Amino acid sequence: MIDVIVFAISALIIIGGAIGVIALPNPVHAALSLIATFFGVAVLFVQQEAHFLALVQVVVYAGAIVVLFLFVIMLLGVDRAQELGVEPLAGQRAAGVAVGAVLLALVVGGLFLSGDPDRGGAVALTGQSGQVVPTVEGEQDVIQLARDLFTRHLLTFEATGILLTVATVGAVVLVRARGAEDLILDEPGTAQH
């Protein structure tokens, strides 16, 4: 029972945060609601005994990524409501609603239409309770995770390392100023066109 209550509360936080991200006119508020969503998801991870992943979710997503978002928003100074007032592409909002609703209907429909018809039909894949992860008795999720990461996914892990390195190098090159010519964050738009 407590499971269901915890799930319901975190689901409400997740959905509420998500709606905030897509609906709030102020980017700073949107970033803050994004944190709510990330925390809600972390709670769900803890509930499924994915403790390490929950930690990473909070540290990387809520910690690093949202701070990066906020940093750029503040740097650009676009913290005032600067959209929602105009709609340059007429009907884009309607199209967004339509596509979003169709996707939701498709996925939910897919979930309910799948599964064994003998068990009522309205079960996605199965309606059984999921077991929690530890497959080896007494072993923590982080040990299992590490074993899988450093055996089967070793090369992928290294590739991710390269990816993060080149992303940093490239981002620095794009944003850095060569000499002092374009370090003019106070007056953007004056850079040479």
Angstrom distance (rounded) from CA 30 to CA 24: 6
State the minimum distance, in angstroms, from the CB of residue 38 to another protein: 7
Q: Which residue, 180 or 192, has its beta carbon nearer to another protein?
A: 192
**In whole angstroms, how close is the CB of 61 to another protein at the nearest point?**
7
Other C-beta atoms closer than 10 Å to the C-beta of 16 total: 13
- Nearest distance in Å: CB 98, another protein: 9
Left, alpha or beta for 115 (phi > 0: left; psi -120 to 50: alpha)?
left
Minimum gap (Å) between residue 99 Cβ and another protein = 6
Answer whether 89's CB lies under 8 Å from 73's CB. no
- Spell out the residues 6+ positions from residue 103 whose beta carbon is closer than 8 angstroms to its own: none
For residue 36, the minimal CB distance to another protein (Å) is 11
User: What amino acid occupies position 84?
Assistant: L
Q: Which is nearer to another protein, 180 or 185 (CB)?
A: 185
What's 184's DSSP letter? -
Question: For residues 140 and 148, is the Cβ–Cβ distance under 8 A?
Answer: no
